[in-house]
């Protein structure tokens, strides 16, 4: 379903690299989150209300590393929703080195929609589904 409608860029900081001089693998999940926040903003949702009005719990995450990333590389992170279910949705990510165009990583996350008071899964709001479909088209 996704055409990766939202893109954001970031420059790799020295603290994100390991002893071999490449980005530590755990930082890619932070990069996913950076893109996810941008996606939510594009939906018109106030991200400062996260946890108050709504909660989308991260239930699954995966990443395939394709090429090393180093300090000062500029990354373009693309994100989109690939699947919507009754109480969850799946997001896909692609990270490219902006200078070379090389695909450096791709991954996914699955989010379960929760009632922030009870922490029990609840049906995705129809307005959210509509906003996602509009952004993805």
- Total-model pTM: 0.93
Q: What is the pLDDT of residues 25-76, one digit of tens each?
A: 999 999 999 999 999 999 998 887 776 767 889 999 999 999 999 999 999 9
Q: Strand 6-11's sheet: what is its strand order?
A: 6-11, 74-84, 88-97, 103-114, 55-65
Domains of the chain: 6-136 (3.10.129.10)
- Determine the pLDDT at residue 1: 62
| Dihedral class, residue 112 (left if φ above 0, else alpha if ψ from -120 to 50, else beta) | beta
């Amino acid at each position: 379903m996704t055409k990766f409608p939202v893109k954001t860029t970031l420059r790799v900081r020295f603290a994100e690299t390991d002893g071999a001089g490449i980005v530590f693998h755990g930082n890619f999940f932070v990069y996913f989150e950076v893109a996810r926040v941008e996606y939510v903003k594009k939906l018109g949702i106030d991200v400062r209300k996260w946890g108050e009005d709504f909660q989308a719990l991260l239930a699954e995450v995966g990443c395939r590393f394709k090429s090393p990333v180093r300090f000062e590389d500029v990354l373009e992170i693309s994100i989109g929703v690939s699947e919507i279910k009754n109480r969850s949705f799946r997001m896909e990510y692609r990270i490219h080195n902006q200078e070379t165009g090389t695909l450096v990583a791709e991954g996914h996350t699955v989010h379960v929609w929760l009632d922030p008071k009870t922490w029990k899964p609840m049906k995705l709001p129809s307005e959210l589904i509509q906003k996602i479909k509009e952004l993805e088209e």
